[in-house]
Structure 1
Amino acid sequence: MRNTMPKTLTVLAGSAMLAAGAAHADRSDWPDNFTVGTASQGGTYFVYGSGWANFIADELGVSGGGEVTGGPTQNLALVHSGDVAFGLTTMGPASDAVKGESPLAPGVAMDNVCAMFPMYETPFSITALADSGIESISDIPDGARIGFGPAASTSDTYFPAMLETLGVDFERRNGGWSDLGGQLQDGLLDVIAFAAGIPIPAVSQLEVQTDVNIIEFTEEELETILENYPVAEFSIPASTYETLEEDARAVSMWNFAIAGCDLPEDFIYEVTKVTMENNDRMKSVHRSAATTIPENIKHNTVLPFHPGAARWYEDNGHEIDPDLIK
C-alpha cells in the first residue's frame, strides 16, 4: 500500500471520546494524521471541509485538518497522488478525471480516487451589485469583468462555457471567493459567477455590506443549459439569502467526499460511519450538509466507492452496484 501521508503528527491525546465502533476497531494500519483538500477561503468547500475534518479528528482521535486548494479538479489530483488523504469534488470534474481528461493531468486516468459520501448539490448562481443595473443574464454588458473562482475549479471549468453558450461576452477573472467578493464590492468586477454550496459565505458577507442582485436563469436559458451541460435543474430557496424574495432558478452538480482508494478499509468504514450517523453535527458545520445522507449515494455513477465506505452502506441497508465498488 502506498504511504499517502507523512507520519510527523501523532495521535491526539485527550481528544473527545471515541465513537463506540471506532474504539474497538483495529487501528494498526490507520494513518497518524490526515488532510482534507477543500478550496479557497470564502467558499463553501473550505467551511464544510475544514469543519468536517475537525469533526472526524475529534471523533476518531486522529489529527486532521482542511487545506486550501484550487478546488474540485485539484483535489482529485491531490487524492490520486496521495498528497492528501481526502478531498471534496463535483461529479463533472470527477468524470473527466477517471477518463483521463482532467485539465491538470491530461491523459492520466485517476484510478486512486474513491467516493466516500454525498455532500450536497452545487448550484451555479450569479451575483452583481444592485447599483450595477444588472438584473438578468441578458443585462450583462459586453466585456463585463466576471470572476469565476479559482482557476480549474468547477465554477471556472463550466460557468464560462455556459455563459458563452448564452451569448455573454466577458473578460475572465480568477481568484478565491473572498477576494472576488471584495473586488466586486470595490467595483473591480461587474459580476461573480459562483458554483458553490449555498449559502455561499462570500455572498452572505456581501449582503451585510451592500445591496446585491442574485440573478436567476430564465426558463429559456435554463433549457439551453440543461441541453448542453452535465447539470440538473435546481431552485435556490428564497430563505437562503436576505436578498431573495422568491426561489431562484439555477442548475447544479452533486458533490462527493473522496478518499485515496488505498487507505485502510477499517479507517474509511469508521470515517463514513461517523459522518453518516451524525447528520445534525454535520449540519452544524454547514447547513448544506442537510443532504449529506446515505440515500443520496445514488447520485454518484462516476467514481468507484471505497470498499470501507461501501461496507458501511451495505451493513445499513443501502445497496450499491457491485461494479461501482473498488
Structure 2
Amino acid sequence: MTKTLLAALATTTALAATPSLAQDQDRTGWPESFTVGTASQGGTFFVYGSGWANLVAEELGISGGAEVTGGPMQNMALVHTGDAAFGMTTMGPAAESLAGNNPIAPGLAMDNACAIFPMYQTPFSVTALSSSGITSIADIPAGSRIGFGPAGSTSDTYFPAMMDELGVEYERRNGGWDDLGGQLQDGLLDVVAFAVGIPVPAVSQLEVQTDVNIIEFTEEEQAQIIDAFPVSAFEIPAETYTTLEAPARSVAMWNFAIADCSLPDSFINAVVDVVMSDNERMVGIHQAATETVVENWDKNTVLPWHPGAAAWFEENAGADIADDMIYSAN
C-alpha cells in the first residue's frame, strides 16, 4: 500500500507548552508528533478525534492533531501501515479489516492496529426534511436519493445493506456529513442515513435552519436489523435533539480508539491515562464521551489490545483481559 496520508490535515496542531503528565516517565521511543485518523468534517469522529488529539498533545507535550479521513476502514489501513499513529474505528469495520475484507487492501489482514480505549456507541439514524412527509422507513419512496456518508465509512458499509434488508429502494449517494446535510436542506437528497455518534453536528445544524424529522425504526424493523447485522438495540435520548419529543428507537455499534501496535507501551499507557482519567474534559469535547468510561473496556471483542493500554485497564479498571487478546509481536 502506498504510504501516503490520503487526506489533508484537519485541525491546527496542538503544541504543548508545559506537559503536565508523565514528566518523569521514560520516553524512550516516543514519537515527536502524531496524528489521529478521524473521518469527514461534520461528523462525530472528527469533533471527538480532534479534541482528544489536542488534549493528549497538551498533556504530554507532543505535537499532535487530527486528520480528515474516509472513516473507520481507512483508519484501520492508516494505523496498520504506520501512516497514522492513532485512529478511530467501529467494531464491524475492525472485524472486516482483521479478516482481510477491507476494501482499501482486499486480502490484507490488518493486524497491526490495536485497541487502546472505548469511545462510544454509534447509533444508526435516519433524517429527512419535515416538508418531505417522510416520517417512517416505510414512507421512503422508491428511488429516493439517500446520502450514506463518506465511501467506506461505517454508515456506507452497513446502512445500504440495512435499507436493502428493510426493502427500501434507493439511489446511493456519498459525501462528507456537512455536505450531505447541505444537500438535504437544498432538496438534492431525500434522506440522509447517519451512522455517527450523537448528537450528529450536521443534524444539530439542520435543526437550527429548518424543520427535520428524525426517523426511528419500528420494533419489528429493529429486531430484523439486529438479527442480520453486528449491532445491538439502542435508544437515541429525547434530549439529544430539539426535534425529538421522546426517545427514538435505533441500533448501534461500538467504537474504539486504535493505535499502531508497535508504539512503545509507556507512550500508549500515558495516552490512555490522559483520556480515561478526566471524563469531564472528554465530555466537554463531545457529549458522546459520556460512554468513554473504564467500565466499557469489555465492549472490545474484536481487536487485540495494545499491551500499554491493557496494562492501564488491568491496573485502573480491574480488567481481566485474556492473554490471547493482548498483542504480541512474537
TM range (shorter): over 0.9
Q: For residues 124-148 of structure 1, what are the alpha-carbon distances to aligned partners after superposition, in whole Å with 9 as ceiling and x for unaligned? A: 0000000000000000000000000
- What amino acid does structure 1 have at the position aligned with 2:180? L
Tell me which residue corresponds to 1:133.
133
Q: Is the 8 A contact 1:32 1:63 kept in 2?
A: yes
Using the TM superposition, give the Cα deviation of residue 297 of structure 1 relative to its aligned residue in structure 2, in angstroms: 1.1
Q: Is the 8 A contact 1:53 1:64 kept in 2?
A: yes
Tell me which residue corresponds to 1:266.
266
Q: Is the 8 A contact 1:4 1:85 kept in 2?
A: no
Tell me which residue corresponds to 1:318.
319
Tell me which residue corresponds to 1:243.
243
C-alpha distance in structure 2 between counterparts of 1:160 and 1:17, whole Å: 45
Tell me which residue corresponds to 1:309.
309
311-320 vs 191-200, greater mean Cα deviation: 311-320
Using the TM superposition, give the Cα deviation of residue 318 of structure 1 relative to its aligned residue in structure 2, in angstroms: 2.0
Using the TM superposition, give the Cα deviation of residue 315 of structure 1 relative to its aligned residue in structure 2, in angstroms: 1.6
- What amino acid does structure 2 have at the position aligned with 1:247? P
Using the TM superposition, give the Cα deviation of residue 209 of structure 1 relative to its aligned residue in structure 2, in angstroms: 0.1
Tell me which residue corresponds to 2:172.
172
Using the TM superposition, give the Cα deviation of residue 266 of structure 1 relative to its aligned residue in structure 2, in angstroms: 0.5
C-alpha distance in structure 1 between counterparts of 2:193 and 2:14, whole Å: 40
Q: For residues 294-325 of structure 1, what are the alpha-carbon distances to aligned partners after superposition, in whole Å with 9 as ceiling and x for unaligned? A: 11011101000000001111122222122110
Q: Is the 8 A contact 2:16 2:63 kept in 1?
A: no
- What amino acid does structure 2 have at the position aligned with 1:181? G
C-alpha distance in structure 1 between counterparts of 2:114 and 2:105, whole Å: 18
Helix, strand or coil at the partner of 1:110: coil
C-alpha distance in structure 2 between counterparts of 1:148 and 1:298, whole Å: 29
Q: For residues 174-214 of structure 1, what are the alpha-carbon distances to aligned partners after superposition, in whole Å with 9 as ceiling and x for unaligned? A: 00000000000000000000000000000000000000000
- What amino acid does structure 2 have at the position aligned with 1:141? P
Using the TM superposition, give the Cα deviation of residue 13 of structure 1 relative to its aligned residue in structure 2, in angstroms: 7.1
- What amino acid does structure 1 have at the position aligned with 2:84? V
C-alpha distance in structure 2 between counterparts of 1:313 and 1:319, whole Å: 9
Tell me which residue corresponds to 2:295.
295
Tell me which residue corresponds to 2:68.
68
RMSD: 1.6
TM-score, normalisation: structure 2:
0.94
Q: Map of 1:1-326 to 2, 5 A cutoff?
A: 15-19=17-21, 22-316=22-316, 317-326=318-327
Helix, strand or coil at the partner of 1:245: coil
After TM superposition, where is structure 1 displaced by more than 3 Å over at least 4 residues in a row? Answer: 11-14
C-alpha distance in structure 2 between counterparts of 1:295 and 1:18, whole Å: 25
C-alpha distance in structure 1 between counterparts of 2:301 and 2:161, whole Å: 24
Helix, strand or coil at the partner of 2:146: strand
Tell me which residue corresponds to 1:8.
none
Q: For residues 58-99 of structure 1, what are the alpha-carbon distances to aligned partners after superposition, in whole Å with 9 as ceiling and x for unaligned? A: 000000000000000110000001110000000000001111
Using the TM superposition, give the Cα deviation of residue 14 of structure 1 relative to its aligned residue in structure 2, in angstroms: 6.0
Distance 1:129 1:119, change over 3 A: same
C-alpha distance in structure 2 between counterparts of 1:13 and 1:37, whole Å: 18
C-alpha distance in structure 1 between counterparts of 2:4 and 2:306, whole Å: 15
User: Would you say how many aligned residue pairs link Structure 1 and Structure 2?
Assistant: 317
Using the TM superposition, give the Cα deviation of residue 28 of structure 1 relative to its aligned residue in structure 2, in angstroms: 2.4
C-alpha distance in structure 1 between counterparts of 2:319 and 2:171, whole Å: 46
C-alpha distance in structure 2 between counterparts of 1:100 and 1:219, whole Å: 34
Q: Is the 8 A contact 1:4 1:84 kept in 2?
A: no
Distance 1:37 1:74, change over 3 A: same
288-297 vs 146-155, greater mean Cα deviation: 288-297
Helix, strand or coil at the partner of 1:262: coil
Q: Is the 8 A contact 2:15 2:57 kept in 1?
A: no
Using the TM superposition, give the Cα deviation of residue 4 of structure 1 relative to its aligned residue in structure 2, in angstroms: 12
Percent identity over the alignment? Answer: 66
C-alpha distance in structure 1 between counterparts of 2:136 and 2:17, whole Å: 50
Using the TM superposition, give the Cα deviation of residue 105 of structure 1 relative to its aligned residue in structure 2, in angstroms: 1.3
- What amino acid does structure 2 have at the position aligned with 1:18? S
C-alpha distance in structure 1 between counterparts of 2:273 and 2:29, whole Å: 18
Distance 1:133 1:311, change over 3 A: same
C-alpha distance in structure 1 between counterparts of 2:157 and 2:257, whole Å: 19
C-alpha distance in structure 1 between counterparts of 2:16 and 2:278, whole Å: 21
193-202 vs 288-297, greater mean Cα deviation: 288-297
Q: Is the 8 A contact 1:4 1:82 kept in 2?
A: no
Q: Is the 8 A contact 2:15 2:64 kept in 1?
A: no
Q: Is the 8 A contact 1:12 1:61 kept in 2?
A: no
C-alpha distance in structure 2 between counterparts of 1:12 and 1:179, whole Å: 27
Q: Unmatched 5+ residue regions in structure 1?
A: 6-10
Q: Is the 8 A contact 2:14 2:64 kept in 1?
A: no
